[in-house]
């Protein structure tokens, strides 16, 4: 696939989300290009989940425009959704169902034929070639996440949304998912990633946006943000290793207070 990295697959412009009188997201704007991993970072309650829910079409924003693969989610919600694949932090697949059954079920939802050879190829690609007849509940957390991501990619979406996909995984499983993300980037998919791991954001994201109190307060590459803020007093105070890290910048910009 020839990748046009100048073309945004996801555009979020002037997004406002409210719950009653509470404004959760205020004029949030960002874009994710083809062949890019874009991280949306923020403390608990900062507005990233509400922003993500609006992109996914789960909530209707009060204001703003969201465009996925050229389709405005207000005017063409089904077209936008058809170009989107979503992997959630926790899966809700029935644990007693076999892996092959789950994949065939979701293939049917997308009207995708799933002959035995294609199913085997999908499982081989995620290094689970022998898991077709295993119950989903028998898989490890990392294996479950690999199956979940494979299902999100069944219809070859242009935009892939990964909501804290490596939470609770061991280092080996986490690295495997990082490698899969990088493969998808190379294939030209746009990836929107949320994570609480600054190490993960620094390792895999091409650009990040930090959101706090409903507003985007910084957007750039991880290295550029570290270079820009390495002299800030709050960032220096947050540093515990002498060398400024993305986590130091994040805490320096959003504060040390623990959010519930």
CA 254/CA 65 separation, integer angstroms = 26
pLDDT value at position 260? Answer: 67
Instruction: Report the range of poorest mean pLDDT among 48-52, 219-223, 238-242.
Output: 238-242
pTM of the entire predicted model: 0.91
Instruction: Report the range of poorest mean pLDDT among 1-5, 36-40, 196-200, 242-246.
Output: 1-5
Task: Count other C-beta atoms under 10 Å from residue 173's C-beta.
Answer: 18
- Bigger pLDDT: 142 or 218? 218
225, part of any domain: yes
pLDDT value at position 38? Answer: 98
54, part of any domain: yes
Q: Integer distance in angstroms from the first to the last C-alpha of the chain?
A: 43
- Bigger pLDDT: 80 or 91? 80
User: Among all chains, which residue has been given the structure tokens 């499983």?
Assistant: 173
**Is 50 exceeded by the pLDDT of residue 239?**
yes
Could you read off the pLDDT of 148-207 as tens digits, one per residue? 999 999 999 999 999 998 888 889 989 989 999 999 999 999 999 999 999 999 999 999
Q: Residue 71 is encoded by which pair of tokens?
A: 């389709």
What letter would DSSP give residue 171?
Answer: H
67, part of any domain: yes
Number of domains in the chain: 1
Tell how far CA 150 is from the center of its chain: 14
Say if CB 130 and CB 138 are below 8 A apart: no
User: Which of 83, 88, 74, 58 minimizes the C-alpha distance to 13?
Assistant: 74
246, part of any domain: yes
95, part of any domain: no
Tell how far CA 218 is from the center of its chain: 18
CATH number at residue 222: 3.40.50.300
**Is 80 exceeded by the pLDDT of residue 240?**
no
pLDDT value at position 90? Answer: 64
163, part of any domain: no
Residue 1's pLDDT band (cuts 50, 70, 90): very low
Say if CB 52 and CB 161 are below 8 A apart: yes
- Bigger pLDDT: 258 or 140? 140
pLDDT value at position 141? Answer: 87
Q: Which domain holds residue 21?
A: 1-82+205-260
Say if CB 99 and CB 136 are below 8 A apart: yes
29, part of any domain: yes
Average pLDDT over residues 214-241: 91
Residue 96's pLDDT band (cuts 50, 70, 90): very high
Calculate what percentage of the chain has a pLDDT beyond 70.
Answer: 96
2, part of any domain: yes
User: What's the chain's average pLDDT?
Assistant: 92
């Amino acid at each position: 696939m020839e990748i046009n990295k100048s073309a945004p697959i996801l555009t979020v412009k002037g997004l406002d989300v409210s719950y009653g009188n509470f404004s959760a997201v205020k004029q949030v704007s960002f874009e994710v290009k083809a062949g890019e991993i874009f991280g949306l970072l923020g403390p608990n309650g900062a507005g990233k989940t509400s922003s993500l829910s609006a992109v996914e079409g789960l909530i209707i924003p009060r204001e703003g425009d969201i465009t996925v693969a050229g389709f405005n989610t207000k005017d063409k919600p089904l077209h936008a959704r058809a170009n989107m694949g979503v992997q959630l932090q926790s899966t809700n697949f029935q644990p007693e169902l076999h892996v092959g059954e789950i994949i065939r079920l979701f293939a049917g939802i997308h009207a995708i034929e799933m002959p035995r050879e294609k199913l085997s190829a999908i499982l081989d690609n995620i290094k689970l070639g022998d898991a077709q007849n295993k119950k989903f509940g028998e898989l490890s957390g990392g294996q479950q996440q690999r199956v979940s991501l494979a299902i999100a990619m069944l219809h070859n979406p242009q935009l892939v949304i990964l909501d804290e996909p490596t939470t609770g995984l061991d280092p080996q499983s986490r690295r495997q998912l990082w490698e899969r993300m990088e493969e998808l980037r190379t294939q030209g998919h746009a990836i929107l990633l949320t994570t609480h791991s600054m190490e993960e954001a620094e390792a895999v994201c091409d650009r990040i946006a930090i959101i706090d109190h409903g507003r985007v307060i910084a957007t750039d590459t991880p290295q550029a943000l570290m270079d820009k803020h390495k002299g800030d007093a709050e960032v220096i105070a947050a540093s515990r290793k002498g060398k400024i890290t993305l986590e130091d910048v994040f805490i320096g910009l959003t504060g040390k207070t623990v959010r519930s």
